[in-house]
Chain A
Amino acid sequence: MGSGRSDSRPDGLFAAFKIVVAGGFGAGKTTLVGAVSEVRPLHTEETLSSASIGTDDVGDVSGKTTTTVAMDFGRITISARLVLYLFGTPGQERFWFMWDELSHGALGAVVLADTRRLDDCFPAVDYFERCRLPFLVAINCFDGAARHDPEDVRIALDLDRTVPVIQCDARQHDSVKQVLITLVEHVLARRPSAPRKAPAGPVAAASATAPAARPSFAP
C-alpha cells in the first residue's frame, strides 16, 4: 500500500533507511528483527585500529588486527524505491566500534528491554542519548515475566518524557510492526519542521493501538 506514488522512479531503489535494534544479551533482538523482516547474514572483517589514517597496507602497520563479526540484519521492502534495514547491535563490548557504524545516519533506534535485567539496556540508552539518535524503549513481555508499567520503566531508566516507552512481544509480527511505526512517528514528531500535533501521551501500549492484521506481501 505504501508505494504507488506518481513520482516513483522506474529505475528502482531510491532511498534506504536503517533502524538500530539494541538491548542486552538475550533481550530478544534477533527475535524482534525476524518477526517483521527477511533476515539475511552479513559478515564484517573490520580493522580494529582507532586511527585509520590514509591508505594503508596491513603488512606495514604493526599491531593492527582484524576481527570477524558475523551478524544478521533484517530487510523490509517498503516499496520498489524504499528499503528499511534493521540492524541488531552486537552484544559484546569489544564490538562497540560497530555501534558507531550502525548508528551513523540511522533513522532511529529501538532499545529492547527485558525487565528482569533492566540495567542491561543502560549502555544503549546512554549511547543513543549521547549521539542524539531518536529512540524508544520497547519492553519485551516475555512469557511469565512480571508485567511492568511503562512509567516505572521510564523512571528506572531515567528517560526523558518525550521518549516513547511501549510494551511489545518480540515474537509477534503485529506487535513489532507497531514498535517500528511508533519509532518512525517519534522521528517525524521530533523534526523541527514537523507540524505540531497533539502529543499522544508519554505512554502508548503497542497492543492497544495495533491495527488489524493484514496479509504481508513481499515483492
Chain B
Amino acid sequence: MARDRWRDRKAGPVVRPYALTGGRTEPAGREVLDLITIIVATDPAERGSDPIELSPEDRRILGLCRRPVTVTDVASITELPLGVVRVLLADLIARGRITVVPQQPAAKQPSGDLLKEVLHGLRAL
C-alpha cells in the first residue's frame, strides 16, 4: 500500500505529495477530471507496457483502471491526495494509457432513465 511507503506512523507523509508529480499541481491537458469522472485503461491487459516509463504509482493506478473506476475511488484506494491523483491521471490520459468514459456532461442533467435506476437502487437498499 502507498501508505506503508510514503507515510511514517509518527512523522506522517515522508514525501511531499507533489514530489510524485514532479512538483506540478495542475493536471496537464484540458480534460477536467471531476470527482466522479470515470476512467478506464485503454489496454486493460497492459500489453507492451514499459516498466521504466511508469512509476509505481502509475502502475498501481493502471491496475485499478483495468475496469472503469472513478477518480474518487482511485484517490481513496491509493491513499494519494486527490490533487496528486488528478495530475497522474492527466499524464496517463496524455500518454494514451487511460481514457475518460463518456458520461453525461457534469453540468447538464442526467437522463431520466438513469435517475430512475438510481431511485430503484435506493429503494432496494
Contacts and interface: CB of A to CB of B under 8 A. Distances in A.
B76 A73 contact: yes
Contacts of B68: 11-14
B70 interface: yes
Interface residues of B, number: 46
B87 to A, nearest CB: 10
Interface string B83-125: 1100000000000000001011011011010111111111111
B75 A42 contact: yes
Interface string B48-81: 0000000000000000000111101101100111
The SS class assigned to the A binding surface is mixed
9 contacts: A42-B82, A44-B75, A45-B17, A52-B25, A57-B23, A68-B81, A85-B72, A107-B110, A107-B118
B14 interface: no
B21 to A, nearest CB: 10
B8 interface: no
B75 A105 contact: no
B122 A184 contact: yes
Nearest to A180: B122
Contact of A36 (B101, B116, B120, B125): B125
Nearest to A76: B125
Contacts of B67: 11-13
